[in-house]
């Protein structure tokens, strides 16, 4: 999760655009990419079957491996190696499928690549599930710092990896094209996702929904899950709320970040529908993130809380892919 409070021009533009839309009585969606999104909930049997298969140990193993790197800082050699490991791990889960491609996306201004796994569907319209792979220690920032980033964001990558595993386990053939993205350099001004969302927008790619997993394994005291209400899409957020109520039966609420606090903001800026389910109220977030103390033991050496986000990701994917 990016906690820099610098007021970037992009965030200002989003705010001004929204204000103008409201002032002139335009529908909110007039300024968003529209692709006939259907938010009906109709896949209960399939979703419940997948949810039962979500494995806490599998998510935990991903977290433990990624925190074995001293850092995953976007300029550090370990930050590059960690992303290569993610690509290899994702590829190994779907080796028997001919509709799968895994790429390392090279960014021009820093060495860490993003990882993109694409599962080709009947349609080229995209559903994107993402989370960042880098880490940072803001107390001692640099390539030599210690930044294990267990919650922020090895756990988010663990959630994505588990959903990919379920894809292979159930031999699911999607109607839409599905992409899983491990973004580079989220902690440094969200550069990786801004690069990618800009490329997608300029290429005219149809993206019907984006969900971000960043900070998913530290349980706040007040709620089990929080939907970030700003720099996200209202209709898709309401859809996620109904999915939580239908499939998870947990406590949740809305809460604003107050700024573009993760990769969802890059997609929002380009006009795509993006959402960001988070582990707690922002005032109650993990106090260890962005330090050398963001380690797996701070979540009790388990990924129990992260499993809720894997289940939500399963529900989001299977219900939207109709």
Instruction: Cite the active site residues.
Output: 132, 152, 186-187, 214, 290
Which sign, positive or negative, has the C-alpha torsion 278, 283, 286, 291? positive
Closest CA to 192 of 305, 79, 318: 79
Residues 53 and 140: their CA atoms lie apart, in Å, by 40
Residues 83 and 133: their CA atoms lie apart, in Å, by 7
* Secondary structure (3-state) at 190: coil
* 94 and 174 Cβ atoms separated by less than 8 Å: no
Q: Provide DSSP, 213-273.
A: --S-SS--SS-SEEEE-SSS-HHHHHHHHHHHHHHT---EEEE--SS--STHHHHHHTT--
* Secondary structure (3-state) at 14: helix
- Asked if the peptide bond before residue 267 counts as cis, ω within 30 degrees of 0, the response is no
* Secondary structure (3-state) at 307: helix
Fill in the DSSP letter of residue 252.
Answer: E
To the nearest 10°, the Cα dihedral for 8, 9, 11, 13?
A: 170
* 310 and 277 Cβ atoms separated by less than 8 Å: no
Residue 25's region, left for phi above 0, alpha for psi from -120 to 50, else beta, is: left
Residue 48, token pair as written in the block: 């419940």
């Amino acid at each position: 999760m990016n906690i820099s409070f610098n007021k970037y021009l992009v965030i200002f533009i989003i705010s001004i655009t929204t204000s103008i839309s409201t002032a002139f009585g335009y529908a909110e969606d007039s300024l968003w990419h529209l692709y006939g999104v259907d938010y009906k909930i109709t896949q209960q049997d399939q979703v419940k079957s997948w949810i039962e298969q979500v494995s806490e140990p599998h998510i935990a193993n991903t977290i433990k491996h990624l925190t074995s790197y001293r850092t995953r800082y976007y300029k550090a050699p370990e930050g590059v190696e960690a992303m290569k490991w993610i690509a290899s791990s994702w590829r190994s889960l779907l080796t028997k499928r001919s509709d799968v491609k895994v790429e390392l996306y090279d960014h021009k201004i820093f060495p860490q690549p993003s990882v993109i796994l694409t599962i080709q569907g009947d349609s080229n319209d995209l559903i994107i599930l993402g989370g960042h792979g880098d880490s940072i220690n803001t107390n001692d920032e640099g390539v030599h710092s210690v930044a294990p980033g267990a919650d922020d964001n090895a756990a988010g990558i663990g959630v994505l990896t588990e959903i990919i595993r379920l894809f292979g386990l159930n031999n699911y053939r999607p109607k839409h094209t599905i992409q899983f993205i491990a973004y580079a350099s989220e902690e440094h001004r969200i550069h990786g996702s801004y690069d990618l969302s800009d490329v997608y927008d300029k290429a005219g790619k149809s993206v019907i929904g984006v969900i971000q997993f960043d900070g998913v394994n530290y349980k706040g005291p007040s709620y089990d899950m929080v939907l970030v209400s700003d720099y996200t899409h209202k209709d898709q957020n309401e859809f996620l709320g109904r999915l939580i109520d239908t499939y998870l039966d947990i406590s949740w609420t809305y809460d604003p970040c107050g700024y573009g606090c993760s990769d969802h903001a890059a997609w929002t800026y380009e006009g795509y529908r993006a959402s960001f389910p988070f582990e707690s109220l922002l005032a109650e977030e993990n106090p260890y993130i962005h330090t050398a103390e963001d380690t797996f033991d701070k979540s009790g050496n388990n990924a129990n809380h992260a499993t809720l986000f894997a289940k939500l990701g399963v529900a989001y994917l299977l219900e939207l892919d109709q």
